[in-house]
Amino acid sequence: MNRQTATFLFLFVAATAWANEPGQNKPNLQQQYQSIREQSEYIEPYRMVRAYQVENFWKAVQDTLREKDEALGVAQKKISSVEGEVVSLKNTIKEKDSSVEEMAFAGSHIAVMGWDIPKSTFIWIVVSVTIGLIALLAILFFAFRTAWQRARESRQLYDEVSNEFDTYKRNTVEKEVKLYRELQDYRNRLTELKSA
C-alpha cells in the first residue's frame, strides 16, 4: 500500500506540475492511455487502474471530443461559406461567360433593321449593292450620254432641216413674187392689148 500511496502522490504532484507549466503541451489521448497503463498495477489476470486516472482520462476524451466537435462545426461553417463563395463565383463566371459570348456575338454580327447579320455577310451585301449601284450609275451615265448625243444630233438635224425649210420658204416666196409679177406683167399686157 505504501507503494500505491507513493505512486499516487507522485502522479498527483506530476499532474499538478504538468498542469501548471505554461510552455508544456497537453498530452494527447494516446500518451495519456500509455501513462495509465504504465502506472496501473497488474494483478493476475487483471490490471488495476485508479478511478481518478480513469476519470481524468474520460475528461480528456470528452474535452478532445468537444474540441473535435467545435473544430468540425467551424470546419462545416467554413465549408458552407466556401461553398457559398464557390456558388457565387460560378454564377459570376457564368455571367462573365455570357457577357463574353454576347460581346463576341456583338463583335461578329451587325444589327440591321432588327436582324442580326454576320459581319462577313453584311460586308458581302454592302459590296454587292455598291458594285450594283456603280454598274447602274455607269449604265445610266452611258445611256444619258448616248441620249444627249442623239439629242444634239437631232437638234443639229432639226436646225439643218429648219434652215433648209426657211431657204425653201424664201425661195418659194421669191418664186411666188416673181410669178405674181410675171402674171401681173402679163395681165398688164393683156389689158394694154385689149385697150389698144
Domain boundaries, the chain: 2-92, 114-196
**Contact partners, residue 41, CB within 8 Å, separation at least 6:** 4, 47, 48
Cα-trace Rg, the chain: 65
Chain center to CA of 175:
94
pLDDT digits (tens, 9 = 90+) for 45-58: 877 777 787 788 88
**Contact partners, residue 32, CB within 8 Å, separation at least 6:** 56, 57, 60
Instruction: Report whether 109 contacts 118 (CB < 8 A).
Output: yes
Residue scoring higher pLDDT (156 or 47):
156
Mean pLDDT of the chain: 84
pLDDT higher than 50, residue 20: no
Mean pLDDT on 80-93: 93
pLDDT above 70 coverage of the chain, percent: 87
Tell me the whole-structure pTM to 2 decimals.
0.41
pLDDT digits (tens, 9 = 90+) for 125-153: 999 999 999 999 999 999 999 999 999 99
Instruction: Report whether 51 contacts 59 (CB < 8 A).
Output: no
Mean pLDDT on 22-44: 73
